[in-house]
Every structure is written in structure tokens, then in C-alpha cells.
Structure 1
Amino acid sequence: MTNDTRKQTIESLAERAKRGEISRRQFAQLAGLVLAGTPMLLRSTGAFAETKGLVLVNWGGDAIT
């Protein structure tokens, strides 16, 4: 989604909110999805983990092994 598309989508949502078609809460939720959700969708690649190990950290007290 390009910046122009995002801007048009937000403007469209704002117009719908002004007309009362959607509530302010719905506007905020949808605008958040448009602005924050797009980069996550574009980067839907797998993780690049080094190993399959698990690291446990003890922040004081006796460690139970």
C-alpha cells in the first residue's frame, strides 16, 4: 500500500465518520490497521533464527534444575 493509497483510505474513513456511517472508535481502529498493519503484511517472511535452543535466565533466588 503506497502512501497515497493510505492517505486516500484515511480521508475516506474520515468522511464516513463525519457522515456518521462509522463511529469514532471504528475510525480509530480502522485507521490504526491501515497505518500500522501495512508494514507487517509486506514483511511476511519467515524468521531467521540462529539455533533452536532455549535460553532460561534466573533473576535471583534458587534455580530449580
Structure 2
Amino acid sequence: MLNSKSSDVYSYGVVLWEVVTQKIPWDELNPMQVVAALGFMNRRLEIPDPLWTSLIESCWCWFH
């Protein structure tokens, strides 16, 4: 079950991803495609810097 704390932690992981990559997440998708990619296809952003992988992925595991 998704709750406010889970959403906050997941969002923090996305903010960390933005800081590390200096990119806008899912900029090639419209909002409904983002929902589908995350909610139904379990798609995640690629983390290019291994130094941050563990921390960011641990934030994203709160989502499910």
C-alpha cells in the first residue's frame, strides 16, 4: 500500500537522481505515460553513477 511516507521517500530518490544526472526525469513521456511506466511496468530511471545507486534504489524500493 502506498502512503505519504512512501511517496516522500520515493520522490527524494528522484530528486537525488536529478542532482546526480542534471536531467529532468521522464522528460520524453507525458504524465499518463509516467504513471503507466511506474505503476504498471515497474520502470525506473537509469542511475549512471554507481556511487549513488544504492542510496537512490533504496529510496525507490519504498514505492512497492
**TM-score, length basis structure 1:** 0.37
Highest relative contact order (Cα 8 Å, sep 6+), 1 or 2? Answer: 2
Structure (1 or 2) with the larger CA radius of gyration:
1
